[in-house]
Amino acid sequence: MIGGNKQIGIVKRNEKKYLSLSDPLIRRTTWKIKQLHETYLRDAAETVVEVGQCLIKIKPRLKHGHWIRWIEDYLHFSTRSVENYMNLAGFARTHARIFGRFKELGPTKLYVIASLERKHLGRIIRKKYWPISDSNKTKTLAQMSIIEFYEVLNKLTGQKKFSWDSEFQGFQTRVGLLNGQVKKLLPYADRIPAEKINAMENQLETLLTQIRSLKK
């Protein structure tokens, strides 16, 4: 669990001691914040599963070719998000106990866990502490940052180490291609239905929100 040890005022050997934690109010508030964060992540994961269950239920009822159009016009989700929601819903159904154990990790980490092969999933279940690259520390999955989590999972599955620089360069390339596609559409602007343009705007607004979060 992200909350960790309830006795926050007690620090482990070799850890830095913050004298401020001797203040009862700070100690109580620290614990409350950690509990609220756990609740948020747990509820977020359960909400994603519920959305995924709805998507799984609706997909067979839509006519051939209408699935993507329905997602774009009415939900404004990316196809990647839809896949994540449905995969996590399926994972929660077939591996209910594992989902219950890890749901406090939050959706982002769970999307990765839900996609693991059985042999890798078994190791995730059995092992509690994982070595962190470029340090002598070990952490639980809950204690890891998203980048640390990806690095640990990539090493577990034999994938290449995550490189933010190469990802950024790839993103810039895709943005350039997207810009070129928009320019090609400009001469046909009067033929494109307004709902299509609105859907495009909503998707880009979602992307911009995620980009702005990188500044934090």
Q: What is the pLDDT of residue 116?
A: 92
Buried b (16+ CB within 10 A) or exposed e, 130-143: bebeeeeeebebbb
pLDDT in tens, 10-30: 444 444 454 455 677 767 777
User: Rounded to an integer, what distance in angstroms lies between the CA atom of residue 202 and that of residue 15?
Assistant: 46
Tell me what the pLDDT averaged over the chain comes to.
Answer: 82
Q: How confident is the model at residue 209 (pLDDT cuts 50, 70, 90)?
A: confident
Q: What is the pLDDT of residue 7?
A: 44
pLDDT in tens, 47-95: 999 999 999 998 988 887 888 888 888 888 888 888 999 999 999 999 9
Q: What is the pLDDT of residue 139?
A: 93
pLDDT in tens, 125-152: 999 999 988 778 899 999 998 888 988 9
Buried b (16+ CB within 10 A) or exposed e, 155-193: eeeeeeeeeeeeeeeeeeeeeeeeeeeeeeeeeeeeeee
Q: φ and ψ at 45, to 5 degrees?
A: -65, -40
